[in-house]
């Protein structure tokens, strides 16, 4: 058996360049993560992700430690460019994963457990953290670009499919897809609650998220209408750019509107516009994701998409909370607009999906009509389409109804913003990542049908943990257990259920049909949440409310069991889920 490390020995110069690049990357991240560095008798304050230590007054100048870290990251860029396209695959993967892990530790350290400086001064924001993150991402991408075409061969067999082009693209798309939801979901709920707006009005704002459930009404435009000039880049890529810019504009607009209990309508309008822009971005992202994946990659791509979605939503929510605590909610929201960029960059780098069917060049009334009605006619012409649609509508009603009320529960139980950030954001994030991993394992070992069934049961019973928390009162252990269980269940369901829904689409109408499916997947739960959740909580109490959400989830579980036993699950698969 040939030695897999032979290419490194055969090209000492190339491997040396890469070793130096990874060493510089690790050194830079360490310097950015540590709270301080001792050089001789002097102690230099350190800088972490988007944050630094102040001496009691806000300062804009970065510390020497930060400059050293940024210099090391700059060296990574230069050395990565110099590294050749041969050898070092194992070293490439290992070094990059170590660098990513160190960055994750830096983020968690500075956002969720920031100690005081030596003088006891509070944490203050610093402009340099964003530059450091950008340098890391650029170094990582350049190192990957320099890798040989078969660098994935050195990965373990079970991990290798996740690093194919399609699943990696799905991850970046998920990041951009997740952050608009956070801006009008839990983050806006927290902002409104801190403004003093009553519960019924706060939960009514979830109707802004309801815009997502009507995105199928204009999804046909994304499938069939080309963008002037930008259309030369491809139908999907051009729409990624346009929709991404709309999301940036909507985020800035929502940042500039200050909620006023006496006149809430400007905030309502801004939230609805944000929802419409985010829903349009979702249409394009979902169509691009399904088409860039091969049928056998749908499970892996769904998992990576969920990883990205969770990272995007959690990171945006955490950054908004941290920045808002230092500089106000306007700055907190505006800082999150950068999360629209990953999907745009993915489209420009990966290009137009090979499986995409380009729109017809000649337009007519009949062609436009087919673009509008074709996706629906094709879907409902299938055997058992109405039953499949019924399952889509009710499968997650209990989970959706409960999920958008968690922040209200935490606020009423007396949890502080720091506790919410640690348990709901950081711990919940880690639990969701574990759930996605378990979902991938279950999908591979149990198959699609049985893994979907298990995920539905887990999501239904996870709400019982919040009923227990509500009964127990302010309990850090109870909060950790409830959030952990709920996020693991959601992670498992996010992989296997989305893989099934993606496979339901037809390649001729990918964006429009998935918009219909994803919209229907939560419309009932979101509508009930926005119209009655606050009143139900006030009438029933939190514990009984979460028991109620578990009960109403059971019909969806029973319906899928019948679909699986009758063979309807297999017969419902569209061309996107069929190998050619």
Consecutive H or E run containing 37 = strand 36-39
Per-residue pLDDT of the chain (580 residues; tens, 9 = 90+): 333 333 333 344 444 445 555 555 555 555 444 444 443 444 344 443 333 333 333 333 334 444 444 555 555 555 454 444 334 444 444 444 444 444 444 444 444 444 333 333 333 333 344 444 444 555 555 455 444 445 566 566 667 777 788 888 999 999 899 889 888 877 787 787 777 776 666 666 666 777 887 888 888 888 888 888 888 888 889 999 999 999 999 999 988 888 877 788 888 888 889 999 999 999 999 999 988 888 778 888 888 888 888 788 878 887 887 777 777 888 888 888 888 988 998 888 888 887 655 554 545 555 656 667 777 888 888 888 899 989 998 888 888 788 778 888 888 888 877 778 777 777 887 888 889 888 877 887 888 889 999 999 999 999 999 999 988 888 888 888 999 999 999 889 988 998 888 888 887 788 888 888 887 777 776 666 656 777 788 888 888 989 998 998 899 999 999 999 988 888 888 766 666 5
Go through 341-350 and write b for each residue having 16 or more CB atoms within 10 A of its CB, e for each that does not: ebbbebbeeb
pLDDT at 278: 92
271 falls within a domain: yes
Domain end marker among 130, 154, 178 = 154
On whether both 144 and 13 belong to a single domain, the answer is: yes
Query: The domain spanning residue 226 has which CATH number?
Result: 1.20.1250.20
Count of CB atoms situated within 10 Å of the CB of 283: 28
56 falls within a domain: yes
**Helix (H/G/I), strand (E/B), else coil: 196:** coil
Report the half-sphere exposure of 382 (CA within 13 A, side-chain side).
Answer: 23
9 vs 342: CA distance, rounded Å: 36
- Biggest CA–CA distance in the chain, Å, is 79
222 vs 219: CA distance, rounded Å: 5
Q: Spell out the alpha helix ranges (H) of 328-462.
A: 329-335, 341-350, 365-380, 385-394, 397-403, 406-412, 417-420, 428-461
pLDDT at 211: 82
On whether both 195 and 218 belong to a single domain, the answer is: yes
On whether both 318 and 268 belong to a single domain, the answer is: yes
On whether both 24 and 106 belong to a single domain, the answer is: yes
Domain end marker among 132, 154, 176 = 154
Is residue 572 within 8 Å of residue 384, measured between CB atoms? Answer: yes
On whether both 142 and 181 belong to a single domain, the answer is: no
110 vs 49: CA distance, rounded Å: 6
114 falls within a domain: yes
Is residue 493 within 8 Å of residue 455, measured between CB atoms? Answer: yes
On whether both 117 and 238 belong to a single domain, the answer is: no
The residues facing 123 across adjacent strands are 53
On whether both 143 and 201 belong to a single domain, the answer is: no
Q: Which two tokens stand for residue 169?
A: 């693209």
Is residue 574 within 8 Å of residue 414, measured between CB atoms? Answer: no
331-336: list long-range contacts, CB under 8 Å, 24+ apart: 331/255, 332/255, 333/183, 333/251, 333/252, 333/254, 333/255, 334/251, 334/252, 334/255, 336/179, 336/182, 336/183, 336/251
On whether both 541 and 457 belong to a single domain, the answer is: yes
DSSP letter at 328? -
pLDDT at 74: 52
115 falls within a domain: yes
Q: φ and ψ at 429, to 5 degrees? A: -60, -50
pLDDT at 310: 77
109 vs 97: CA distance, rounded Å: 18
Report the half-sphere exposure of 405 (CA within 13 A, side-chain side).
Answer: 34
On whether both 132 and 214 belong to a single domain, the answer is: no
497 vs 279: CA distance, rounded Å: 20
Q: Which two tokens stand for residue 79?
A: 């050395």
28 vs 75: CA distance, rounded Å: 9
On whether both 80 and 188 belong to a single domain, the answer is: no
69 falls within a domain: yes
Count of CB atoms situated within 10 Å of the CB of 205: 24
534 falls within a domain: yes
**How many domains, the chain?**
2
1 falls within a domain: no
Q: φ and ψ at 328, to 5 degrees? A: 100, 160
On whether both 401 and 369 belong to a single domain, the answer is: yes
328 vs 257: CA distance, rounded Å: 12
Sign of the torsion angle spanned by Cα atoms 6, 9, 10, 15: positive
Domain of residue 53 covers 6-154
421 vs 47: CA distance, rounded Å: 20
Domain end marker among 120, 154, 188 = 154
On whether both 104 and 213 belong to a single domain, the answer is: no
Count of all residues that appear for the chain in the document: 580
pLDDT at 486: 92
Inter-axis angle of helices 341-350 and 265-292, nearest 10: 20
């Amino acid at each position: 058996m040939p030695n897999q490390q032979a290419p490194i020995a055969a090209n000492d110069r190339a491997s040396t360049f890469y070793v130096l690049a990874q060493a510089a990357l690790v050194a830079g991240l360490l310097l950015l993560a540590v709270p301080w560095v001792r050089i001789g008798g002097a102690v230099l304050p350190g800088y972490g992700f988007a944050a630094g230590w102040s001496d009691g007054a806000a300062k804009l100048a970065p510390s020497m430690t930060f400059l050293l870290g940024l210099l090391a990251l700059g060296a990574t860029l230069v050395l990565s460019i110099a590294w050749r396209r041969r050898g070092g695959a194992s070293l490439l993967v290992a070094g990059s994963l170590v660098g990513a892990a160190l960055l994750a530790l830096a983020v968690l350290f500075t956002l969720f457990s920031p100690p005081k400086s030596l003088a006891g001064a509070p944490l203050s924001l610093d402009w340099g953290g964003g530059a450091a993150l950008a340098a890391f991402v650029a170094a990582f991408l350049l190192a990957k670009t320099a890798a040989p075409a078969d660098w994935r061969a050195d990965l373990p067999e079970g991990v290798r499919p996740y690093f194919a082009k399609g699943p990696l693209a799905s991850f970046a798309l998920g990041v951009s897809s997740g952050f608009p939801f956070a801006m009008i979901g839990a983050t806006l709920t927290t902002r409104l609650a801190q403004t003093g707006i009553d519960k019924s009005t706060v939960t009514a704002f979830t109707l802004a998220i309801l815009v997502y459930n009507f995105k199928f009404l204009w999804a046909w435009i994304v499938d069939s209408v080309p963008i002037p000039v930008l259309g030369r880049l491809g139908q999907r890529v051009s729409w990624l750019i346009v929709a991404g810019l709309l999301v940036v504009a909507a985020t800035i607009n929502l940042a500039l509107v200050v909620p006023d209990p006496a006149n809430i309508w400007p905030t309502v309008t801004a939230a609805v516009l944000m929802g419409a822009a985010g829903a349009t971005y979702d249409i394009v992202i979902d169509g691009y994701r399904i088409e860039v994946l091969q049928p056998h990659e749908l499970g892996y791509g769904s998992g990576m998409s969920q990883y990205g979605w969770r990272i995007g939503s959690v990171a945006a929510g955490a950054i908004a909370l941290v920045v808002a605590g230092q500089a106000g909610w306007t700055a907190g929201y505006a800082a999150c607009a950068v999360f629209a960029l990953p999907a745009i960059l993915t489209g420009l780098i990966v290009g137009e999906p090979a499986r995409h069917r380009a729109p017809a060049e000649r337009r007519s009334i009949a062609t436009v009509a087919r673009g509008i009605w074709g996706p629906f006619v094709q879907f409902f012409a299938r055997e058992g389409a109405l039953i499949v649609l019924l399952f889509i509508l009710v499968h997650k009603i209990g989970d959706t109804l409960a999920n958008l009320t968690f922040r209200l529960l935490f606020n009423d139980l007396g949890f502080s913003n720091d506790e919410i950030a640690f348990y709901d954001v950081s711990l919940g994030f880690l639990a969701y990542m574990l759930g996605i991993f378990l979902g991938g394992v279950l999908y591979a070992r149990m198959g699609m049908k049985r893994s979907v069934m298990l995920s539905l049961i887990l999501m239904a019973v996870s709400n019982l943990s919040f009923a227990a928390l509500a009964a127990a009162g302010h309990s850090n252990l109870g909060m950790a257990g409830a959030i952990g269980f709920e996020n693991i269940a959601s992670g498992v369901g996010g992989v296997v259920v989305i893989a099934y829904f993606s496979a339901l689409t037809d390649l001729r109408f990918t964006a429009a049909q998935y918009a219909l499916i994803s919209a229907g997947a939560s419309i009932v739960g979101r509508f009930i949440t926005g119209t009655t959740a606050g009143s139900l909580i006030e009438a029933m109490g939190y514990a009984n409310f979460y028991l109620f959400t578990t009960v109403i989830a059971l019909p969806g579980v029973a319906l899928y069991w019948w679909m699986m036993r009758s063979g309807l699950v297999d017969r419902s698969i569209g061309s996107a889920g069929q190998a050619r």
